[in-house]
Structure 1
Amino acid sequence: MRPIVKLAATAALLIGGGSSFASADTVNVGVCVSWPGYAMLEVARQKDLIPDHDLNITIFEDPLGGHAALAAGQLDVYGCTADYTPLTVDRGTDVVNVAFLNPSYGVDHVILSPGIDTAELKGKKVAAPQAYIGHLLMGIWLDSIGITPDEVQWVNLNADEAVGPMMSDDLAAAYMYEPWISKVLAAKPGAKSVANTGEVDILKSGIFMDALYMNKNFIAEKRDVALAVLKARWDGLGYWNQNTEETNKLLADFLQWPVEDIGYVIGTDGKSFEGGIYMLDFDESARICGVLDGEGPLGIANGSMADSVALTNDWWIKLGLMENKVDAAAGIDCSLMDDLVKTGYRQELRAN
């Protein structure tokens, strides 16, 4: 999770009255945090790319609260990180991951404090937000240097919250993303990045990924609407590809970010930004789902979506967040992507 600006609060404020589903022409969409990768449905809304349906979009800044609203049917659609998918299965919620949206392309890092030798890291404090990308990345890095999760002191902090403790030498290492990485490296000579999600092995695992979730009952009862929303998300991405400068400004206004910071995440070429995120076009996402022939991008194999969920499950067990090995395939539903493929829908986007 990478929250920058606190915008919206709770599901109660979003939905009001607790109705189970949106009306025929309204779809309740949740965005788990202020993040450009989740915001392409706002592009579709503003550019009237889904004219038959009204998208009621709310930014939560509370990923778990958003997941709870989705599971309860208060949301129909939800953009968040894919690492939550095994938990939806373990908890038996009416939620499925219907598409991978974009992998982290180097935006997420582990920063080591100056003067800290990895051989002396045992027993020291490391910071990462529990149950999200940072927790996973920190765990994988610690494992790579032979340290188990119980051999360090975990502190549950997001990147912005970890800056102060890093500056005061209270943390040995911390999960971070921009602009906090640059701030800490500039202010703490000797601090260094020791792991990031742009590394080849991490990229091809597919586990540091944003995803689009839907409520199962919404899909079952309003499948045509679910398909329209899914298509609109990719149409919004296509609009960004062809009108990048304009769309980056739109996203900045929606997320309340400086427009230049949008570029440092999704880039200005309509496709990706190394050190940011890589925006999967429809064809790439469909290949990862296994519903379209051809290799996936960045070394991610065709049909590997369930494998990525299973690997995430394994890591959550290692990190003590989960106890059970789940059926990873139960957490995904590629049938909507498959339906779009069968209609002839295709999208191959290149950097401008």
Structure 2
Amino acid sequence: MKCPDIYSFKLLCRTAIRPLGLNIATLLVTVCLLFACGFSASAEVTLRIGYQKSGYLTILKERGNLEKRLAPQGVTVRWIEFTSGPPLMEALRAGSLDLGHAGESPPIFSQAAGADLVYLASTKPSPESVAILVPKDSPVKRIADLKGKKVAVGKATSGHYLLVQALTAAGLKPEDIQWAYLSPADARAAFARGSVDAWSIWDPFYAAAQKDLDARVLTTGKNLSPFREFYLANRAFVQSQPALIKPILEEIQKTADWAQTNPQAVAKLLAPEYGIDLGIVELAEKRKERYGALPIKAPVIAEQQQVADTYFRLGLIPKAIDIKSAVWSGK
């Protein structure tokens, strides 16, 4: 039963039992409220989750297991789709979301902008799922050949970090190329019409470019970028609903376990959701290793701190940030 308006309910109860005396009346009002609210200590909750098509939250959404798990607690789940991590993190920072997921870069830029977010868990790394692409007949054969060229990439995305790392490994500086900050959809269009010379992007957009545009891989994230996914929450949500965190992470883990052992079923589930060919999804899933909702331990914290320090050293974020202080304690 939905809890009634507390002020109206108090007035009704006190009017009926006022003759019994103040203390007894107060006690009975409390009892009345407990019965009316089903002895629940919390009001009904709407859990707002931001998701991208490249992550396992999409599978969780499609299977509906989280809704089933949380419904007995009076929790309604609302799913909100984003094209990439940066706008999702902005919504999390603004308090428009409670929870979401992103690669290594978006939360760092969001923290640097003042977001009070919490790293809840991470996936395994998946460096082969992010790549720098060039057209099949491009004269660009190695990263060093990108000097002076225009490269499409999403700002503050995993593609951004891969590009930074690849340039550094090739002895180039960020200013040695022309940066075209574009969303995945706009970057694909620019790449297809030849308006950019290269594109740094992740799956399934990466797989789609290979299949549809015959794109050639210049490099993947192997030995350059871990491409790890993080599950993050607004700190206000974590503080107000701490009991919901573990059930959510448990359902994400169950979904990941199922996905890892059922790649064909995953592809069939996601293809219509993505609106792309089944073969493209199968290609993306084949090289994906980003499974699970794993506790964030010291090596992962150090890895993420290195990413943050790299962005700060290059002047891409305005201040140094501390990753460890934003990691969920598990309590």
Alignment partner, residue 76 of structure 1: 98
C-alpha contact (below 8 Å) 1:95/1:216 kept by paired residues: yes
SS at structure 2 position matched to 1:35? coil
1:96-148 deviations in whole A, cap 9, x for unaligned? 12111343341221124522365554322222222111111111111111110
Alignment partner, residue 257 of structure 2: 238
Q: How does 1:51-66 map to 2 (within 5 A)?
A: 51-52=71-72, 53-61=75-83, 63-66=85-88
Question: How far apart are 1:163 and its partner, in Å?
Answer: 4.7
Q: Distance in 2 between matches of 1:41 and 1:218?
A: 20
- Aligned equivalent of 1:312, options 307, 315, 320: 307
Q: How does 1:227-266 map to 2 (within 5 A)?
A: 227-241=246-260, 244-266=263-285
Q: How does 1:309-348 map to 2 (within 5 A)?
A: 309-333=304-328, 335-336=329-330
**Would the alpha carbon gap of residues 246 and 184 (structure 1) be closer, same or farther in structure 2, given more than 3 Å must change?**
closer
**Would the alpha carbon gap of residues 243 and 116 (structure 1) be closer, same or farther in structure 2, given more than 3 Å must change?**
closer
Alignment partner, residue 218 of structure 2: 194
SS at structure 1 position matched to 2:321? coil
C-alpha contact (below 8 Å) 1:76/1:214 kept by paired residues: yes
**Would the alpha carbon gap of residues 209 and 243 (structure 1) be closer, same or farther in structure 2, given more than 3 Å must change?**
closer
Question: How far apart are 1:159 and its partner, in Å?
Answer: 5.1
1:222 matched to 2:248: no
Structure 1 gap ranges (5+): 1-21, 187-191, 267-272, 291-302, 340-352
Aligned Cα root-mean-square deviation (Å): 2.9
User: Identity percentage over the alignment?
Assistant: 19
SS at structure 2 position matched to 1:28? strand
Alignment partner, residue 20 of structure 2: none
SS at structure 2 position matched to 1:227? helix
C-alpha contact (below 8 Å) 1:89/1:331 kept by paired residues: no
1:139-167 deviations in whole A, cap 9, x for unaligned? 11111111101121111234554455545
SS at structure 2 position matched to 1:55? strand
**Would the alpha carbon gap of residues 234 and 196 (structure 1) be closer, same or farther in structure 2, given more than 3 Å must change?**
same
Structure 1 letter corresponding to 2:156:
A
1:26-75 deviations in whole A, cap 9, x for unaligned? 311111x3224332431552573444333211212254332222223321
Q: How does 1:68-217 map to 2 (within 5 A)?
A: 68-112=90-134, 114-116=138-140, 121-158=146-183, 160-163=185-188, 165-166=190-191, 169-176=194-201, 177-185=206-214, 192-197=216-221, 199=222, 201-202=223-224, 206=226, 208-217=227-236
SS at structure 2 position matched to 1:42? helix
Alignment partner, residue 44 of structure 2: 24
1:67 matched to 2:96: no
1:219-241 deviations in whole A, cap 9, x for unaligned? 11111112221222112223434
**Would the alpha carbon gap of residues 258 and 46 (structure 1) be closer, same or farther in structure 2, given more than 3 Å must change?**
farther
Structure 2 letter corresponding to 1:178:
A
Question: How far apart are 1:194 and its partner, in Å?
Answer: 2.4
Q: Distance in 1 between matches of 2:149 and 2:264?
A: 44
Structure 2 gap ranges (5+): 1-41
SS at structure 2 position matched to 1:209? coil
Q: Distance in 2 between matches of 1:174 and 1:248?
A: 24
**Would the alpha carbon gap of residues 233 and 143 (structure 1) be closer, same or farther in structure 2, given more than 3 Å must change?**
same
C-alpha contact (below 8 Å) 2:152/2:181 kept by paired residues: yes
**How does the TM-score come out when normalised to structure 1?**
0.69
C-alpha contact (below 8 Å) 1:158/1:175 kept by paired residues: no
SS at structure 2 position matched to 1:34? coil
Question: How far apart are 1:202 and its partner, in Å?
Answer: 3.2
SS at structure 1 position matched to 2:207? coil
C-alpha contact (below 8 Å) 1:86/1:331 kept by paired residues: no
